[in-house]
Every structure is written in structure tokens, then in C-alpha cells.
Amino acid sequence: MTRLVGAIRPDRIWSLALLGLALISIAAADCPAMGSRFYSEEVLTSRSLSGGLVVDESIYFLASYTLYRAPRGIARLPDGGRVRRLFETVCLYRYDTAAARLYRLAVLLNELQPGQSVATSYFEVDGDIVRVVFASGRGTREDPDAWHAAAWNTVTQTLEPVPQDGKNELLDRFTYDGENRLRIGDVTRAVSEVPFDEWRLPSPLDYTSKSDGAYADDLVALRGDQPYRNAIIDAIARGQIDADPARIIARIDERAASREGVDRDAYELFSRETRARLAVLLTSSRI
């Protein structure tokens, strides 16, 4: 045995060790009992928006939305690990500026290649047709297979096929500037107050199973990200989670008071939105 180990080069021993850890992580992804050891219990959210196109009183834009669990422990080796994706979609939306109402028009894709974003997109309108092309894979502007194109008929409210030559023409006209086009920041500001339900997307809580008390603890400890905590607060508002907003606010204040210096400042900063949303919920429940 000693001679066998001695015959293995040190760099290969390290490689074999990393391979073993990787196999354990892969197995954990399919085993609920082990999964919580290697991935966060809280479901995190990633959402990105495209620029938009203004047509009369409407803004057309894209949104990608992903729910995932973050790797933790040895699952982060050797390079930070890979997230465990639970849900992903790319949708076409229309925001009615007059009615302040958001409409999901169509699901365009169920996944994007890692590193891709709907931020790289181009819209145009031709009569009753709104066309869009966006980066969906790795490649240059000259590689049509790296792009996805769609056409929305505003009269029939349906998607129409985009032939290959039509996609090529869209890519040839691709520009971020132009009449009636909005930048990502403008779209983000326009839809910043849209209720989550109008996006017609699954909640992080759809992929999480905890007790009501554990969800309240997550708010106090600031576990997960802000969309996850917002989903908990929304569920409390609907009566789906039995928790007292006043008690949670009191616990947040107690936690802040127990800290000092920079640690206290950081907790107060990162708990500000959660606390504010709870305060609004508490006020509305008293009306």
C-alpha cells in the first residue's frame, strides 16, 4: 500500500481528491437529504432586464428570471462551485404606462447559456409587429445560431415565426440607440413599482419548505437575498405564513442594538428594506 501511494504523484493525489469532492457534490444535488449540506436552503433569485421599445403608451422589453441554490461548504471547491438551477425563463413583456400595468406576453426561452444576458438585445416595430433579437448563446454578431429572434403581433396577440434571413436582417440593423428606444436603466425605473404577481413568475418559496417560525428567523437573520425575503413578507400578508410583523420588527431592532460599530451599521443597512416592508405591512393591517 505504501509503495502504491508513493507511486502516485502529489499533483495527481490532489486531482483525485478534487474529483471525489466533485462526485459528492453531484450526488448531493440529486439527494434532498444531502442537498442542504452542499447548497443553500434559501432559494436565490437572479433577474435581468433588457432595454425597451416605446410603442404609443407601451414599453416592450425582455426579462430573464432564474431561481437557484448557491453552493456552500465543499461544494464551493475548487473554484467557487456551480449554482443549482431550479427554474429559468426568458419572457417578453409589455408595460402599459397609462394604466401602470405589466403584461407577460410570451415565454421565449427556458434557459440561457451561462454568461449570457438579455441586456444584449435589439427591438424594432414594423406596423403591428414588434420584433426582438437577443444573445442566447456564445458567438459574434455574425453567428446567427448565438441569437434568438421573436416577432410579436400586437393585433392577434401571438408570436410569429422569424425566418433565418429575418434574423440575419435584425442582426444587421442591431443598435442600442435609436428613436423610441429606452436604456435598461429607464426600463428598470419604469417597472420598479410593479407588484411581483404581475410578472407571472414562480416565487422562491415555491421551491422552499420551512416552518413559519423558520421563515420569520430568515427575515431577522437576513438569510437569502432580498427577493427571497420579500416573498416571505408577501406570504405573511396573504396569510400563507403565520408570523407577526410587529414581533419580527422588534427582533430586528434587538439584533441591531446588540451589535456595535461597523457590524451594527452593516446590519441596519442590509435590513432596511426588509424592515420597511414589514412596517408597511403592519400599518396596512391596522387600517
Mean pLDDT of 202-206: 96
20-57 pLDDT, tens per residue?
A: 554 444 444 444 433 456 778 899 999 999 999 999 99
Q: Are both 101 and 138 inside the same structural domain?
A: yes
**Do the Cβ atoms of 235 and 205 come closer than 8 Å?**
yes
- Between CA 147 and CA 145 the distance in angstroms is 5
Mean pLDDT of 138-154: 88
Q: Exposure of 146 by Cβ count < 10 A (0-12 exposed, 13-18 middle, 19+ buried)?
A: middle
Short-list 66, 167, 70, 52, CA closest to 109: 66
Q: How many domains does the chain have?
A: 3
Instruction: Provide the pLDDT for residue 20.
Output: 53
Q: Are both 280 and 259 inside the same structural domain?
A: yes
Q: Are both 23 and 111 inside the same structural domain?
A: no
Look at residue 160 and tell me if it is in a domain: yes
Q: Are both 128 and 162 inside the same structural domain?
A: yes
Instruction: Provide the pLDDT for residue 84.
Output: 86
Residue 146: partners with Cβ closer than 8 Å, 6 or more residues away: 135, 136, 137, 138, 139, 140
Q: Are both 51 and 120 inside the same structural domain?
A: yes
**Do the Cβ atoms of 103 and 140 come closer than 8 Å?**
no
- The three-class DSSP label of residue 96 is strand
Domain range spanning residue 105?
A: 44-199
- Between CA 57 and CA 94 the distance in angstroms is 10
Dihedral (Cα; 17, 113, 45, 78), 10-degree rounding: 20
163 is written with which cell numbers?
425566418
pLDDT cut 90: percent of the chain above it: 70
**Do the Cβ atoms of 228 and 204 come closer than 8 Å?**
yes
